[in-house]
Amino acid sequence: MEVSVGLPVVSTHFDDEVVVSEPSAEISSTKEQGYFAADTRFVSGYRLKLGGIRPILLNGVATRPHSARFEFTNPTLVGTDGNDVPEHSLHLRLDRTVGPGVHEDYDLTNQSRQTVAVDLEVSVESDFADLFDVKAHRRIRRGSAHTLCDERRNRITTRYANGGFERSLVLEVSKNDSPPEFANGGILFRIELAPASSWHCCLWWMPVIDRKERRITRPCHQLLEADSQHEVARLRWVEQATIFETSNPGVTVALRQAVDDLAGLRLHHHDDLAGSDSGTNDLDAWVPAAGIPWFVSLFGRDALTVSLQTLAVSPRFALGSLRALAALQADAYDDHRDMQPGKIEHEVRHGELAALHLIPHTPYYGAHEATTLYVLVAAQAWRWHGDRSAPGAGTGTAARLTRSGPTSSGRSPGLTATATLTATGSKSTRRGLRTATTTRAGRTPEMPSS
């Protein structure tokens, strides 16, 4: 079988926001690239020019799931003062962090012995394409787009509307050492640097979704973990998870990296659904995305499979997906969405096609395995966490899945599942083993009885 390898890209993400770019930071609208949020491509094109020429890429790499760094130098060019700028005289660093919005930091340093005058130009394009159109390489503009420039506030706002569906992207220049010029669909900075001096500027990409602007909260150059509420919650979950140690250091490192990677898939906008029914915040329970970059949403089968496979890592982790999926459990018939009472959703989307009901993912229930898998995960999770205060995490929904026979409409539910969830487990909660052999309290753990 032939194994195909895709072109190299740099992918960064946070929550439901994803940036896919070339290693040079460029984004092309003709490729499966862009800045995506809520299943909409807010940035479809991105180019960077130094002195009217593309800079020379030295390296570009993702430093953490939410961040990337790109290093450039200059080719031989002519400065704005008419003087030649020799190759490798300038160093340009671009730091790009995601969530909420995208925070870009530009730092240009003159490494030569002469004063340099040069232009730095950034071009950003928005097509607001639905994720399904991007994947299918369909370039369809269903609505209308308008751009408004506010030079006083250093902001450019591009608004897209199609009926009741609206999305906007705000580009804002901040902490800039020279004033921006807005022209020809780009942002240009005229920079003059003495020898060994530097220039800095921030460019913020802020999506507006359901008329709520996602303001930038990250400080400059925050490539590593931050102290925000979301990142603290992720780090806390990793610290509480089971630690596996083996005689093979490579395996041990791979397991720890896998836990860290899983934490990076957290969908924070589902935290309310994943939390405890009693209103107390269950920090160990949350919902993972199905995959980056195309499956940043709640998929029933994927979330349940991950929950089942990670019970030994964090017994309460499964509760998040169980609660979130219970909130979307079908309670009526809709043949367009393969919806039948009791079924667990397969996929839910939030882009233009879903909002206008041009696709059935609002949510879509066309998966036969998610419903029975829900019952299995609810039962297995109970065996592991044994928490009497968490029966709402699956038992009520599982009970509704046991209904069989004709309904009042004369139609039978699409699937009948039966499960027995007892309440005889331990009063204490197993929240994860600190090592593979001992609990955090130093006791030898007991495997759940079958």
Question: pLDDT confidence of 190, banded at 50, 70, 90?
Answer: very high
| Residue bearing the bigger pLDDT, 403 or 404 | 403
Give the model's pLDDT for residue 172. Answer: 96
Give the model's pLDDT for residue 303. Answer: 92
| Residue bearing the bigger pLDDT, 207 or 269 | 207
Read off the pLDDT of each residue in 359-381 and give the average, rounded to a whole number. 91
The answer to whether the bond into 23 is cis (omega within 30° of 0) is no
Average pLDDT, the chain: 83
User: Is the pLDDT confidence value at 284 over 70?
Assistant: yes
Q: Hey, what CATH class is 10-213 in?
A: mainly beta
Give the model's pLDDT for residue 371. Answer: 93
| Residue bearing the bigger pLDDT, 180 or 442 | 180
| Residue bearing the bigger pLDDT, 341 or 283 | 341
- Size of the chain, expressed as the number of residues it contains: 450
Cα-Cα end-to-end distance for the chain = 40
pTM of the predicted model, to two decimals? 0.83
Which parts of 328-427 fold into alpha helices (H)? 352-355, 369-385, 395-400
Question: pLDDT confidence of 226, banded at 50, 70, 90?
Answer: low
For the chain, the structural domain boundaries read 10-213, 229-400
Exposed/middle/buried for 424, CB within 10 Å: 0-12, 13-18, 19+? exposed
Coil, helix or strand for 187? strand
Sorted by sequence, the CB contacts under 8 Å of residue 5 that are 6+ apart come out as none
User: Is the pLDDT confidence value at 282 over 60?
Assistant: yes
Give the model's pLDDT for residue 84. Answer: 92
**Measured at the alpha carbon of residue 266, what is the angle toward residues 261 and 267, in degrees to the nearest 5?**
150
H helix and E strand count, the chain: 9, 20
User: Is the pLDDT confidence value at 321 over 50?
Assistant: yes
The answer to whether the bond into 219 is cis (omega within 30° of 0) is no
pLDDT tens digit sequence for 338-353: 999 999 999 999 999 9
Give the model's pLDDT for residue 399. Answer: 52
Question: pLDDT confidence of 158, banded at 50, 70, 90?
Answer: very high
- Hey, which bits of 210-336 come out as E strands? 212-213
Give the model's pLDDT for residue 268. Answer: 83
